[in-house]
Structure 1
Amino acid sequence: MQKYIDKIKDFNELVMFEHSIFSLPFIFIAMVVAADGWFGFTLLIFGVLAAVSARNFAMGLNRFADRDIDADNPRTESRPSVDGRIDASSILIFIAVNAFVFVAVAYMINSLAFWLSFPILFVLGSYSYFKRFSSLAHIILGISLGLAPIAGVIAVSAEITPWSVLLSLGVIFWVAGFDLLYSLQDIEFDIQNNLHSIPSKYGSDATLFISSIFHGLSVVFWAMFVWVASLGVFAWTAVVLSAFMLGYEHHLVRKDFTKIDRAFFTVNGYLGIFFFILVVMDRLAV
């Protein structure tokens, strides 16, 4: 039994399951707004399964594709995909199972979700290889998570609404912005190994500036989302709070690069949770 428990822990470390917190709140924000309130337990379960399986697929493929890179990077050399705890065949099976689960769940939701599940998987998988030839990989990661709100509204209403696109654009620039900050940790490694990233191409100062622009765009798009969706004061509070939290994130990173993990995981994790709670409160107040 302990062997299986250890293997589960290894797979959890492989994909960092707890980081699903970045995409889940915005899926449910879209579902709450689309349903104008509670969207039902069935869609709740489907939403969680779709989000987790999609992320597991993307992270599993990323770890598989990056085994050679991760083995040479001191920051990543102890990952299960590198140190032998999980072999390549097991990772490929994990990727295939999660892809199947995602498509199957999409099929059970509605036909539009099903047909869009295939290009979504393609986008999710493309990030793993993009950084080998383009510094736009940060944007691809943003798009990967930014698809979450659109997926949420499709699940509820089988359509793509203007406000969901604005919400997604906010997520795209939010994720791309904090990925820029996170990638500052590997700037020297990327330069030495000819990996394409904005920090390795333009330097840390330019990266911090571009990240701040991206996060400014996030706040703008989230404000447009609240306006177009005709939400109320609690949703506007979520936008203002997000602006302050992103500002604090940049303050932490600019002050000390060793605070990047704290900025990346803690601040961004709470941002999504608070945004979701405030949107729910907004719908309850109607």
Structure 2
Amino acid sequence: MKPETTLKNILNFTKIEHTAFSLPLIFTGAWLGAGNRPPALDVIILIVVAAVGARVFGMSMNRIFDRHIDRLNPRTANRELPAGKMDLTQASAVAGGGLLLYLAACWALGGWCPILAPIPLVPLLGYSLLKRFTPLCHFGIGLCLALAPLGAFVAASGHTRFTWPVLLFSGFVFFWLSGADIIYALMDIDHDRSHDIHSLPARLGFDGALRVAGAVHLTALGILIAVVRTLNGGLTAWIVLAVAAVFFALMYVPAIPVPKRFFPISTLAGIAGALVPMVA
């Protein structure tokens, strides 16, 4: 296989470009950890490296665990493992490389970071397994990303004395992504029911799952309001929050196809939400 083909397969396998959409959430945690200002450049670089490594590890393990499920789903059958574009050894090497990158960045950040580094690995390793046991699996991926701003806070502050704004913001991330993942799973209702895959859409149906996602996202917006109030945010913060609310609302417009509700609309809702504490 040509080197450029191998590289392309790895990039597609890990969806590395999607890391860019989680970085604003991570930067917000670092911003709050540095005392509502930008952290030192070297800290930012190491936080980004850690985020990339963690995502590569988590996504790779997700693809490895789900390779047999993906083979049965027409929407995912062309992914690298089920389509034979990569083998299990290559996939495991990519996962191991992401893990080493993450741990190296945590070690370089020092302080509490290498001590706490194993904690995010548990949900990163296990979230994709939850769909085999519980329809609440969507909240597993929400937990994975909710830990990211907390980790960035520790990296930028050098301590674990979490402030209310970063704890609330982490809660926003949890509910935002969990709700978005429920919407994402709407695309696989029939497949999930046919193959005993647990998800809220498979359990509750299209409309029932949308109602749950709506309640989850209303919770996310309520928490974001609490963030603004806690930080005594001004007009700019409220305007940005209103923009985030518009994107949240667009996820429930029937005329918009489900794939677009998840990406880019849910992503834009998360990015707008991430900007709120930084402009408050």
Map residues 43-122 of structure 1 onto 2, 5 A cutoff.
43-122=43-122
Cα distance in 2, alignment partners of residues 156 and 87 from structure 1: 38
Residue 106 of structure 1: CA displacement? 1.1
Letter in 2 for 1:189: H
Cα deviation, 1:97-144, whole Å, max 9, x if unaligned, reads: 211211121122133221221121011111121111111110011111
Q: CA deviation at 1:195?
A: 0.7
Contact 2:149–2:170 (CA under 8 A) maintained in structure 1: yes
Structure-1-length-normalised TM-score: 0.91
| Residue in 2 that maps onto 1:29 | 28
One-letter amino acid of the counterpart of residue 255, structure 1:
A
Distance in 2, Cα, partners of 1:186 & 1:69: 12
* Structure 1 position 44, deviation (Å): 1.5
Between the aligned partners of 1:137 and 1:273, the Cα distance in structure 2 is: 23
The 5 Å alignment of 1:189-268 reads 189-251=191-253, 254-255=254-255, 259-268=257-266
The alignment's TM-score, normalised by the length of structure 2, stands at 0.93
- Distance (Å, rounded) in 1 between the aligned partners of 2:200 and 2:273: 28
Contact 1:238–1:275 (CA under 8 A) maintained in structure 2: yes
User: Could you tell me how far apart the structure 2 residues matched to 1:261 and 1:18 are?
Assistant: 17
2:178 aligned to 161, 164, 176, which one?
176
How far is the alpha carbon of 1:271 from its aligned partner?
A: 2.8
1:275, CA displacement in angstroms? 4.0
Q: Which has the higher helix share?
A: 1
What is the percent sequence identity of the aligned residues? 29
Q: What displacement does 1:278 show? A: 5.5
Structure 1 residue 279, shift from structure 2 partner: 4.7
Q: 1:203-260: CA deviations, max 9, x gaps?
A: 1111000000011011111111222234333223222211111001211xx335xx12
AA in 1 matched with 2:8 = K
Q: Which amino acid aligns with 1:130?
A: L
Distance in 2, matches of 1:262 and 1:175, equals 15
Name the SS of the counterpart of 2:134 in structure 1. Answer: coil
8 Å contact 2:228–2:276 — kept in the other structure?
no
> Are 1:145 and 2:137 counterparts?
no
Gaps of at least 5 residues in structure 1 are none
* Runs of 4+ residues deviating >6 angstroms: none
State the Cα distance separating 1:276 from its structure 2 match: 4.5
In structure 1, C-alpha distance between the alignment counterparts of 2:43 and 2:234, rounded to whole Å: 24
CA contact (8 A) 1:166 1:222 kept: yes
| Partner in structure 1 of residue 167 of structure 2 | 165
Give the Å deviation of 1:22.
3.5
Of residues 232-241 and 49-58 in structure 1, the stretch that sits farther from structure 2 once superposed is 232-241
CA RMSD of aligned residues (A): 1.7
SS of the residue 2:252 aligns to:
helix
